[in-house]
Amino acid sequence: MARKDRYDLIVLGAGPAGMTAGVYAARKQLDTLILTGDVGGQANWSSGIENYLGYIFITGAELVEKFEQHLRQFDIELEFSPAKKLNLADDGFSVETEAGQTVYARAVIVATGKSPRMLNVPGEKEFTGRGVTYCATCDAPVYAGMTVAVIGGGNSGLDAAVQLMKICPKVYLIEAEPALRGDEIVRDQVVNAENVEVLTRAAVRRVFGDEFVKGLTLEILDTGKVYDIPVQGVFVEVGLDPNSAIVKDLLTLNEYGEIPIDCAARTAIAGIFAAGDVTAIPEKQIIIAAGDGAKAALGAYSYIVRLPKAAIKDWARPVT
């Protein structure tokens, strides 16, 4: 449970956006609480990252560990109790946590990220980070020279296939519907690629392997035929859902359930900022989320110091 019930700033989420926001808030000497269910978010799932400046190659888990070590150099309270709902309150905002506590802040940063839609088949969870991945942009280079499968025939699946077919000898593109979806120009690239095999009306029934993925069990839906294909990588591209339910009663979300923000990470309500994958930013990347977290924290600081309230130190008080 959080040590106090009032803070200058509450950050919701501890992925790259939330942790970066925390570091920047600490450097501005804001009394900050981070509420989260885990540390790292989707970044933990990346088996290899080659596009985060300063690291030629690093696993997602290793990068998250570096982030957390940096964060813990500062006097920031990190509470493993996710936010359940954000509300307006006197002099700021209140946050109800899953643990049943209500905490207050003068400003809030929503950095709750997105959750990949999962296949929910045997072996998927067990091999996540060991051959099963949810981000082709993050992980494709790690699978160069391997046989891989992309699950999903929409735009994200097609984009993943295009990335992978340039570096992999064989790519299976698996779609449960009768035809691929997504943009026609990208569909044509994929369908005409010699090293891509498109399987429609096909569903994954199992991921298997030993230490790492070795294959998939597929079912052809029209015939009921079940068989295995050998792959070393599985890219699940069936969509992402933004974790924005906690603000849906306060903010108008876009058609995808994301939080619209401006270039300063501000939402439509003064004092509420948002950063990372939960927002309507066009690209979902670790480095972009981290940058947005920095902008959100700096914006929150500017907002707080301009409030016509008592000194910041008088706002925070211990739980009685």
Is 263 annotated as catalytic?
A: no
Residues making up the chain, counted from first to last: 320
String of b and e for 31-54 (b: at least 16 CB within 10 Å)?
Answer: bbbbbbeebbbbbbbbbbbeebee
Is 249 annotated as catalytic?
A: no
Amino acid present at 252: T
**Pick the catalytic residue: 31, 138, 277, 292?**
138
Q: Which of 288, 300, 186 is nearest to 237 (CA)?
A: 186
**Pick the catalytic residue: 5, 8, 31, 135?**
135
String of b and e for 241-270 (b: at least 16 CB within 10 Å)?
Answer: ebbbebbeebbebeeebbbebeeebbbeee
**Pick the catalytic residue: 139, 159, 277, 292?**
139
CA distance 301 to 187: 46
Is 139 annotated as catalytic?
A: yes
CA 24 from chain centre, in angstroms, equals 20
Give me the active site residues, please: 135, 138-139
